[in-house]
Amino acid sequence: MKWLPFFGSLLLVTLFLVTTFSHSPATRAAAAAHFPDDVIERGLQYSFERRLLSWPLIALRLGLLFLLVESGLGRKLADWCQSLVGGRWLPTVLMVGLLFFLADELLTLPFAIAHFELARAWGLTSRDLADWLVERAKGLGVAMVTDGIVLVGLYTLLRWFPRRWWLAATAAGTLLGIAYAFLAPVVIEPIFNTFTPLERTSWAPLEGMVRSLVERAGVPVNEILVVDASRQGNHSNAYFTGFGATQRIVLYDNLLKSHPPAEVESILAHELGHWRHQHIVKGIALGAVGALMGLFILAQILAMSVGRGRLALRSPADPAGLPLILLMLTIGSWLAMPVGNAISRAFERQADEDSLVLARQPEAFIAAEKRLAIDNIGNVAPLPFSVWLFASHPSAVERIQMAEQWQRRHKLD
């Protein structure tokens, strides 16, 4: 693995330079057909500044994991923790995991504050730092619980099934994913925001339009919720969340404040499209397939590391292997990113098509895309390579062009 730091660093630098400083004249020309120059420039500049903050953190995180694996510090850290807890295995796992969690937060916090201040400088939020820190503390508490469950579960399976743990971990991870999707809307998300049924808000007059749209969509929607996203920032959005009985559609209050009813209907129809196509269920199923392949490879790497290298693992369940696991999972997630994002963009295109079919208002669809891009300072002229690698949604221009093609096609019918 000695060659990994060099080639990894070379790849990171190359990706940083390409995605941060390269531009696409063709993409910019396409954007100019729909957006004024100041909007294009604003989105490019904000994206540029965000990348300048994101890439150093990525490099530091990977560098720390490489250091712990290649220097043997991971071994020394695990042995130290084990000595503190009297040689007990599970407390050692928890202590090593906690130290990694805290170290990652210490590494991440300055960059997270910088991202927050950047958003405030660009007018995307007016909240103060103290309020943001309180919410981040809540998020860390939730992450500590969920990460702890995953950590204990993974190492328990590593210990119980040292040869076939990856099969059990795939099954357990899929069940955990379903449980999280089910519980998140009713247990986790209310920790951060207040959700109010649409009919109990000042936008209750939209209820008739919503019910008519839901009837056309043919999905079992009990209620549309409005989230008080304005307390956190000025972003406009909507999303489909939940699993089974907890499935629901959530609209940002900012969205309802800034978009006319026709645009709200178009955006809501998009979210109903996700529901109709069961994208959350499909996403979990596809994630299970990816996890199976990734965990199988991880199992081979852990097996080869037993008694070898600087970590000199005593077994796959050795807590000293945690930095190696995290490093391999990080690298694996990067390798899988283009595939995962391509699937996500395909889901979004399906939902966009449903939006046009259900609402039948392509002009409102186009106007909503333009307004969302402007309000959220979106990069409307992204580098195609960056879209391929990072984007979970099609670009605003691609979506607008799709709506225009749909409109022309249906005018001919």
Give the model confidence (pLDDT) of 194-207 as tens digits. 999 999 999 999 98
Name the CA dihedral angle for 203, 193, 283, 287, rounded to a multiple of 10 degrees.
170
Q: What is the mean pLDDT of residues 360-368?
A: 95
**DSSP letter, residue 250:** E
Checking if the pLDDT of 254 tops 50, the result is yes
CATH of domain 195-276: 3.30.2010.10
State both tokens at 95: 């202590």
- Is residue 3 very low, low, confident or very high in pLDDT (cuts 50, 70, 90)? low
Quick one: which of 238, 262, 263 has its CA closest to 249?
238
Quick one: which of 330, 321, 302 has its CA closest to 62?
330
Residue tagged 């994002």 (tokens): 341
- Is residue 221 very low, low, confident or very high in pLDDT (cuts 50, 70, 90)? confident
Report how far residue 361's alpha carbon sits from residue 265's, in angstroms, rounded to the nearest whole number: 9
Domain boundaries, the chain: 25-193+277-412, 195-276
Q: What is the mean pLDDT of residues 28-45?
A: 96
- Is residue 311 very low, low, confident or very high in pLDDT (cuts 50, 70, 90)? confident
Q: Hey, how many other C-beta atoms are within 10 angstroms of the C-beta on 293?
A: 13
State both tokens at 343: 């699937």
Task: Output the pLDDT for position 412.
Answer: 46
Q: What is the mean pLDDT of residues 228-256?
A: 92
Is residue 5 within 8 A of residue 70, CB to CB? The reply is: yes
- Which element (helix H / strand E) includes 92? helix 89-121
Report how far residue 20's alpha carbon sits from residue 52's, in angstroms, rounded to the nearest whole number: 8
Report how far residue 372's alpha carbon sits from residue 35's, in angstroms, rounded to the nearest whole number: 12
Checking if the pLDDT of 356 tops 60, the result is yes
Report how far residue 175's alpha carbon sits from residue 288's, in angstroms, rounded to the nearest whole number: 10
The upper half-sphere exposure of residue 115, i.e. CA atoms within 13 Å in the direction of its Cβ, equals: 16
- Which element (helix H / strand E) includes 378? none
Report how far residue 267's alpha carbon sits from residue 376's, in angstroms, rounded to the nearest whole number: 15
State both tokens at 184: 């998140």
Quick one: which of 126, 174, 132, 182 has its CA closest to 150?
174
Centroid of chain to Cα 207: 30
How would you list the strands of the sheet with 224-227, edge to edge?
Answer: 195-197, 224-227, 248-252, 238-241
Q: Which residue has the higher pLDDT, 298 or 3?
A: 298
Considering the chain, what is the average pLDDT of its residues? Answer: 93
**135-159 pLDDT per residue, tens:** 999 999 999 999 999 999 999 999 9
Quick one: which of 63, 56, 66, 61 has its CA closest to 15?
56
Percent of the chain at pLDDT exceeding 90 = 86
